[in-house]
Amino acid sequence: MRFQSLFLLLVAIAPYGALAGPMLMDKAVLPGMAKRYDADAAYSNAISKREAIDADAAYSNAISKREVDADAAYSNAIHRREDADAAYSNAISKREVDADAAYSNAIHRREDADAAYSNAISK
């Protein structure tokens, strides 16, 4: 009889227990789930920020590398231009030296010819 009354008591309380279950879920489980979602969102935001920072750093590094490469290319172009200017200057100097030497040789030949002519007249 005792078990029967206990059973009847449980049957009588069961509908209230069915209502109490979701209320307990709301009080206990849902806040924990909300905290978990907040943690997931915070983690996701942290990853997004890190990726954005990494992307910015990569972009900045690419710009720096591009500027360094451009500076190096510009510097190399300047050196090549200076080399070309030096080569041009050397060519002009060599041409002038060669022209001066040719002129000097022509003068000596003329003097030799004049001397030969003078000697021929003297004989």
Q: For 4-55, what is each residue's pLDDT tens digit?
A: 777 766 666 666 555 555 555 555 555 666 677 778 888 888 888 888 888 8
The pLDDT of residue 99 is 84
Helix ranges restricted to H, the chain? 2-122
Per-residue model confidence as pLDDT tens digits over 110-121: 888 888 888 888
* Rounded distance between C-alpha atoms, residue 28 and residue 7, angstroms: 28
Which has more pLDDT, 14 or 104?
A: 104
Structure tokens at 17: 């227990």
Mean pLDDT value of segment 43-69: 84
**pTM of the prediction?**
0.34
